[in-house]
Structure 1
Amino acid sequence: MLELKDVDFVRDGKLLLGGVSLTVGEGERWALLGPNGAGKSTLLGLCGAIAHPTRGTVEILGRRLGTVDIRTLRESIGHVNPRHPLRSPLSIVDIVLTGLTGTIELMPRWQATPAQRARALELIDLLGISALASSSWTTLSQGERGRALIARALISDPSLLLLDEPSTGLDVAAREQLLETLDQINASHPHLAWVLVTHHLEELPTCTTHAALLHEGRVLAAGPAYDVLTTDLVSQAFNHPIHITHQSGRWTATAQPGTRPH
């Protein structure tokens, strides 16, 4: 689904990513974690064909950046950004349909087919917001917006889903509803691969299979989540002693006194 080899990314003379290699397979659900400035958003931009590497190679769904039509490639990638810049009062149905055109607003003279509209309603129901299908974007809570954006990302039947801090701005109840939704999506789309960016281990769904820790633009560790999300490695990534527990499929991180990591 996704393969980065020895990737460097330089912007304005500053190295934001250095020597990054990462492979995401079909059906794997990756968490990408690290402190502010570690390079998470930059890496996600490469995964979404939004940016190109300065050095190294990025292959998305078997196609290498720099050798393919970016617009066509992006049609196979679902991207969920809670800072979605929509300003007009589109209904949830119309918001989901914009996922078919890859636009923020509805395209002039573009008309959804009955089958496409039916698919939008199916996804809205799957995400648990069918009662709000006709509601305006401007009236939705942050949690409702997040679920609408996930439905929008799924309507093109992507092979790869990218979630950029989807819990941003959510209270505890809305966060838990979102995580339950992600577990439901895993059950209904078992072959879908995804990469979820977050600062907080508590925001990982139980279906998370793999994790990568970024530190100062480099991958500190990557692999099965249970092997990567450990007290030692997370403490190194965040440069602070953090105790990690894993219970009932969920991770918890708590600061602990002690010697700072090497």
Structure 2
Amino acid sequence: MKSITSRDNAFYKELKALATSSQARRKAGQSLLDGVHLCQSWLDLRGAPLHCVVSDGALGNPEVAAIVAECEAVHAPVTALPDALFGAVSQVENGVNIVFVVESPKPSRPAGLIESAVLLDGVQDPGNVGSILRSAAASGIKQVYCSPGTAFCWSPKVLRAAMGAHFVLDIFENVELAPLVREAKVPVLATSGYASEQLYSLDLRAPVAWVLGHEGQGVSNALLEIATHRVAVPHAGKVESLNVAACAAVCFFEQLRQQQRSGN
């Protein structure tokens, strides 16, 4: 295990940039995983990180010590920082001071939509994006396509909200969604609070692609026009619509319910 004590250390400056700058993360093709849960999930599902960084004060934590031991066993570099320096690397208040530097996965794009997938059309809130990823992974969906206006999936806030879902999904960013929808080999269902077709009237036993839109504007008219179905989630009361992440969860788990009931 190495130790860094200077704020002027080059690696420490790189860590701070990854922690605070989306541009730095995109340029480096790297992300920071913050906290025990994300780090352990990465080890379990993806293997060794590029680098493990801990604070001196966290080394006495049994969970942190176990992760450090796993990293050393697979020859991943481990570096300790004084607690005062680690604070600029982590964005989690009162968290357990451990982060992984990982290479942001770049899966190979499949040839069009041929299985269940999620298409995010300008969903801007990182918490919503992370929640949608988490629901997608939990319901068995494997692919997520994000339009250029969607929040960066490998930002710290999205990673925390998704709770490790990233590591079992194929996530494609900066994708023009319209050509994908036009050439889809599965039905494309665009959610809209103004649609006449109701979610619970649909047969969802076979694969479908879900289109979810911007928090205020919803799915763009261009995508609504070319979708196979425009679908509303019925709700009682005077609330105009569901939060996009809540809408996604209802849709995904209704699909899972129908698939499990039919034995698919």
Q: TM class by shorter-chain length?
A: under 0.3
Q: Greater helix percent: which structure? A: 2
Point out the structure with the larger strand share: 1
